Amino acid sequence: MTDTEPSVALGELIDLSGKRALVTGGGKGIGAAIARRLVEAGAAVTIADLDPNASRAAAQIGAEFVTCDITDASQLAAAFDVADGGGGLHIVVNNAGIFPTTGSLTEVTDAFVDRMLDVNVRAQFSATREAARRMATGGSIVNLASIAGLGGGANISAYAASKAAVIALTRAAANELGASGIRVNAIAPGIIDTPGVQEQMEPLRAGGIDVDARIASNPVGQRGLPDHVARCALFLASDLAAFVSGHVLVVDGGATA
């Protein structure tokens, strides 16, 4: 793209035809919504997920599927090999992660912290490295962070630290990979109504708290849905965001405004 005003139709800017994409943790929730939107835009999508049952979700949207534990280097590399098909990759969405409430800082064990950082940081680093090696003609990497990585929060110390690291990784990688035509951005969702979040909030529901109201407690006044995040991922993956890199896009209905 030149530095002059481009005469490109809007449809072309969002058209991902001919692009190959990999979405980790794409079997359900936010990852599944992102994979669906990328497929709708024309991309050839591979979903990598630890749960083999996610193959059904992949088949329903016309995506390829590979079982993958992102913390296993050989499985991760194999997933990337499937996704690029020998022709390189254009889009990688590092969505897979864990997000349990960690509990009191004084009670969190080193083993728990190790697991949180291994999945949410070290594996995303490895995936970013694998992506960069396969984007010879440029591409877009989208990392899933969290508003917890920006503002913290009680009883989520290990999780908040892991997501802050994802944000730092995103910015550093954007600086390093920009010259190769690779854009690196992050999305920081707020509370999104996914099966995992519902499960996390079950103790609150059992205690009489209106969980649905809690999920919708933001200035916009509506529940955050996986597709809200997916639309933003599609933007960052497409040429609509051709001059956006190193950015953290907050998607929280204004909760942190």
Angle at 240 between CA 13 and CA 128, to 5 degrees: 110
Question: What is the rounded CA–CA span in Å between residue 16 and residue 232?
Answer: 15
Question: What is the rounded CA–CA span in Å between residue 178 and residue 40?
Answer: 27
Does pTM top 0.95 for this prediction?
no
Mean pLDDT of 119-144: 97
Residue 1's pLDDT is what? 44
Mean pLDDT of 182-187: 98
Residue 200's pLDDT is what? 72
209/44: higher pLDDT: 44
- Residue 233 token pair: 């991922």
Catalytic residues: 159
Kindly report which listed range (41-45, 131-135, 204-208) carries the lowest average pLDDT score. 204-208
Say whether pLDDT at 43 is over 70.
yes
Mean pLDDT of 150-164: 92
Residue 195's pLDDT is what? 74
Model confidence pLDDT, tens digit, residues 221-255: 898 999 999 999 999 999 999 999 999 999 999 99
Tell me which fold the domain 11-194+225-251 belongs to: Rossmann fold (3.40.50)
Residue 3's pLDDT is what? 60
N-to-C CA span, the chain? 34
**Percent of the chain predicted with pLDDT > 70:** 96
Mean pLDDT of 191-206: 75
Neighbour tally for 53: CB within 10 Å: 10
Residue 6's pLDDT is what? 66
Model confidence pLDDT, tens digit, residues 68-118: 999 999 999 999 999 999 999 999 999 999 986 777 899 999 999 999 999
